[in-house]
Amino acid sequence: MRDAAGFSLRSRRALGLSALAGLFLFAMGGSAQAQTVELAGVKYEGQADIGGQKLQLNGAGIRYKAVFKVYTAGLYLAEKTSNAEAALAAPGAKRIHLVMLREVDGNELGKLFTKGMEQNASREEFGKAINGVLRVAEIFSTRKSLTSGEYFWIDYVPGTGSTVFLNGKPIGAPIKEPEFFSALLRIWLGKSPADDQLKDALLGVKRSLRERG
């Protein structure tokens, strides 16, 4: 039996099932791309709009010091990657977003960031990034402390530079040197990262306890 358009009942059913399957896959794909990640009560949205570009949450994790949770961190890139060098070299906008889980001395945090950048960059790379390094150290040194729940992120937009946001508000003019953001990311993605497990988490890598040991 065929309808007015000439389709058999079997064909109509097949087309209907295909359409439903397509809608299901579309919905699943969309939800996977926009999946929110929650860590220690902190939520990271699956997508972020930075400089007019849609970025994806590449990974998120917790920075531990001994057994204490210090902060959460989330990395946003245009395309997901599990390779640290690919993440560092990726073109387009990027974001690193930190949320404090305990009170941390602002001056001490600035010093740790400076040390992390210096340890993971060559002398030439660090020299090119020094303007931004000093700016970030100055920003945190002016605050007595960052308390639990406070947050900051740093956005890199090609042609504009890196902008520091503290509790959602931009602090000062963008840092123009592109080398600065690369040096900054190396704190977590470099050869001597602040936390190996956090590096894995930002790259979306899951390792067994044996591999970590």
Kindly report, residue by residue over 149-206, the tens digit of the pLDDT. Answer: 999 999 999 999 999 999 999 999 999 999 999 999 999 999 999 999 999 999 999 8
The domain locations on the chain are 1-33, 36-212
State mean pLDDT over 28-54: 82
Q: Nearest to residue 159, comparing CAs of 91, 72, 76? A: 91
Report the mean per-residue pLDDT for the chain.
Answer: 86
The CATH number for 36-212, chosen from 2.40.340.10, 3.40.190.10, 3.50.70.10, 3.10.20.30, is 3.50.70.10
pLDDT value at residue 207: 64
Rounded to whole angstroms, the maximal C-alpha distance in the chain is: 80
Q: pLDDT tens for residues 89-136?
A: 999 999 999 999 999 999 999 999 999 999 999 999 999 999 999 999
Rounded Cα–Cα distance for residues 178 and 143 (Å): 26
3-state DSSP percent of the chain in helix, strand and coil, to 5: 40, 30, 30
Give the up-direction half-sphere exposure of residue 31: CA atoms within 13 A in the CB hemisphere: 6
pLDDT at 54 over 90: yes
